Amino acid sequence: MKLFSIIAIAAACSAFLACSIPTDVNICQVSYNGNGRSGGTVPTDPVEYTSSQIISILDNSGHLECPEYSFGGWNTSSDGSGTSYQPGDTLETAFDDITLFAVWLPASLIISEVGDPLQSEGRFIELYNSTSASVNLSTYVLRLYINGSTEPSSSFTLPDINLPSGVTFVIARDSTFSGVYPEPEYKIPDIFSTITESNGDDAYELYDGSKTVDLYGVKGEDGTGKVWEFTDRVVQRNLSVILGTDQLDISEWIKGPEDSDLPASPGSRFSN
């Protein structure tokens, strides 16, 4: 019995010691790649993670830039074929290091606000450069489709100027605009044009000479009574939207109250 007890105790001690000896812990790191950037600073994550940790994806606080492209988040593959992540998303680490590549989306303008307010003198269209580079406006044409037409009823070629990143471009009917939206509270229109002469049931298309870059309304459809109608009101694009679309997604828009000039923010994209 004594010999058996000694053996049992020795075995138990050996098992305890084996459990107490630390084993190798796998360490992985998360790095970020600018993926062809021309400027700005790539974010860095100095933390060493173990597998199965949940981490938060970093943002573009270093203002990465790429000519004629806009930052669109991160991807596990340089060609965008992997898993995509937006800043603030979460990711579970594995046993291998992870590299996240910047995603670059083709630069373009978007239609950011359209107004047929109660006072018709205040009719306007606001365009916004949501990209990280300047955009030359002369390659774009604004088209108006009235009364359900499938062909443009009128068009307006934008002027030959470079619109900086993050800047709006406001088109108004004429100088009476300031009587509805006076400065300095509102931006002085960049240009006047009768392309703004919509009564709120017509579609607007931003065209680059070969394709639809963005659209508000539905071509070939009279907007009267439709969900996108903006008669006697202002519609504003959600601030989260940075890409145009060739088909209307009404969830991207905020419709102001009917028979009103407000809320409106011509020239101030971040006021809505």
**80-97 burial by CB neighbour count: b if 16+ within 10 A, else e?**
beeeebeeeeebebeeee
C-alpha 161/C-alpha 180 separation (Å) is 27
Round the average pLDDT of the chain to a whole number and report it. Answer: 88
Q: Where in the chain is the domain with CATH 2.60.40.1260?
A: 109-271
Cβ 33 vs Cβ 76: under 8 Å:
no
Can you spell out the DSSP letters for 44-82? ---PPEETT-EEEPP--TT--BBTTEEEEEEESSTTS-S
Tens digit of each residue's pLDDT (9 = 90 or more) over 142-197: 999 999 999 999 999 999 999 998 899 999 999 999 999 998 888 899 999 999 99
Q: What is the pLDDT of residue 86?
A: 92
Question: What integer pLDDT is reported at residue 66 of this predicted model?
Answer: 83
Q: Give the pLDDT band (50/70/90) at residue 107.
A: low
C-beta neighbour count of 227 within 10 angstroms:
10
Mean pLDDT for 22-41 is 85
| pLDDT at residue 72 greater than cutoff 50 | yes
Superfamily classification of domain 109-271: Lamin Tail domain (2.60.40.1260)
pLDDT on residue 160: 97
pLDDT at 95: 87
Please state, in angstroms and rounded to a whole number, the distance separating the CA atoms of residues 67 and 243: 16
How does pLDDT run across 249-270, given as a tens digit for each residue? 999 999 998 888 888 889 887 5
Q: What is the pLDDT of residue 26?
A: 81
Q: What is the pLDDT of residue 272?
A: 41
The answer, yes or no, to whether residue 10 has pLDDT greater than 60, is no
The answer on pLDDT for 3 being more than 80 is: no
- Residue 87 pLDDT level (bands cut at 50, 70, 90): very high
Domain 27-106 has CATH 2.60.40: yes
The answer on pLDDT for 15 being more than 80 is no
> Which residues have a Cβ under 8 Å from the Cβ of 151 and sit 6 or more positions away?
145
Mean pLDDT, residues 202-216 taken together = 95
User: Any bridge partners for residue 102, and if so which?
Assistant: 74
Residue 241's pLDDT is 87
Note the pLDDT of residue 240.
Answer: 82
23: confidence class by pLDDT, cuts 50, 70, 90 = low
Answer yes or no: are the C-beta atoms of 114 and 200 closer than 8 Å.
Answer: no
